[in-house]
Structure 1
Amino acid sequence: MPPSFDGNNYSYWKTRMTIFIQSLDYQLWNIITNGHEIPTKIVDGQRVLKMNNEFNDHDYKLLQFNAKAKHFIFCALSPSEFNRVSSLDSTKEMCDRLMVTCNNRKFNPFILYF
């Protein structure tokens, strides 16, 4: 079970969450820190997104890694923190938003989010 985050003590949670995810699957941690790879193809020398019906096994595996990482993040968040990141597509975006939100709270507790 991932460590719980309620919006307080982000540094502590981040350290615990890092070790938790790395211990399960280091590729998941790479997706969180570097962003996930979106299935693309080359058309006329330009990279374009693949349509769902063009996905191969490798594409599905990449998408599944991001979904697994999102699952771990979502399971660790309190409802208010979940609401801050639930609309984002990538786990990197989610973690970046949590970090910025929590760091801003230290300096200005009156900032309104969403």
Structure 2
Amino acid sequence: MLFIQATNLVVWDTIIDSSLVPPRNQKDWTNEDNMLAQLNAKAMHILFCSLGPEEYSRVSSCYNDKEISEKLEVNHEGTSQVKKSNINILTLNYENLKMKPDEDIKTMSNQFTTIINNLMNFGKVYPNKDMVRKMLTSYYIMGRQSKCHRRSQGFGFIHPR
């Protein structure tokens, strides 16, 4: 997306706005339709060049850049129902994130980052203060459970004063 926008914003607009696709019958094209067809071809070229062989084979038969974009979106993100389902699963993973007894802080932090990045990819963003609070709470709960477990096992005996 950013590459296309940096290359040419008008080309990006043709991808986003399907009404910018010229009519199929080339005989009826005006000068503006010719310009739109050229923009469409540029956009398709940029999209095709940015794809690997497998993705290219999925979209190579598309007529315009909008079709390519929509097909890629469905292949990568799924339909809107699949997106909602993925967001719900990731949100549940975020809410239930707790540090496991045999897990170190780095592993938990990596898991947390993966969940947050995936949620951002689907458009769900948590404020930084909420993410910090979640991370600290998850770590603190595990620390308390560990300390209680060690005490129940006879470790960390505290002498009365």
TM category (shorter chain) comes to 0.5 to 0.7
Determine which of 21, 46, 52 is the counterpart of 1:37. 21
Partner of 2:48: 74
Q: 1:54 to 1:81 in 2, by over 3 A?
A: same
Partner of 2:5: 22
Which structure 2 segments of 5+ residues have no match?
87-161
Q: 1:53 to 1:96 in 2, by over 3 A?
A: closer
Give the percent of matched residue pairs that are identical in Structure 1 and Structure 2: 35
Partner of 1:90: 64
Residue deviations 1:15-50 (CA, integer Å, cap 9, x gap): xxx1111111111111111123324xxxxxxxxx6x
CA contact (8 A) 2:22 2:36 kept: yes
Residue deviations 1:50-73 (CA, integer Å, cap 9, x gap): x43343322211100000000000
Determine which structure has the larger helix proportion and give its number. Answer: 2
Structure index of larger Rg:
2
Partner of 1:15: none
The letter for the 2-side match of 1:38 is P
TM-score (norm 1): 0.60
Relative contact order, higher structure (CA 8 A, sep 6+): 1
Q: 1:56 to 1:103 in 2, by over 3 A?
A: closer
TM-score (norm 2): 0.44
> After TM superposition, which residue ranges in structure 1, 4 or more long, deviate above 3 angstroms?
none
Which structure 1 segments of 5+ residues have no match?
1-17, 40-48, 108-114
